[in-house]
Amino acid sequence: MSFAFSIQTRRRKPSLTPMIDVVFLLLVFFMLAARFTVEGGISIAPAGGTTESYSGPPRLVVIQPDGLLLNGRAVTDLALELDALTQSPDDMILLRSSDGVDLQRLVDVMEALTQAGFTGLVLVE
């Protein structure tokens, strides 16, 4: 008894054209989706980095989860209160976050002070 198998055909090579098309589409997608700009940041001065002595009214802002303290007392409008204590926008303002404050709250307060024109922000422990 003999078995008859089908006639063997030549093996076809897979076409690389669709794969190359997909690779080029992915390349174009990632080139268009990439960001080539630098994200904005907040500049802060490290505490203790200067040797100059500080003279002037105290300006310590304690950031709490539910409010703000300026020199130990609660404030509602921080920019208005700090405006009365500063002589120029680059006067030093010390920022301290209390326990339980998330980073976004700290950044929000710093952005609000920067938008109000205060540039001498110093973050302390």
Element holding 45 (H helix, E strand): strand 45-46
Domains of the chain, first to last: 45-124 (3.30.420.270)
Maximum mean pLDDT: which of 13-17, 23-27, 33-37, 42-46: 23-27
pLDDT tens, position by position, 42-100: 666 565 655 556 666 778 889 988 888 888 888 888 888 888 888 887 888 888 888 88
The conformation of residue 72, written as its DSSP 8-state character, comes to T
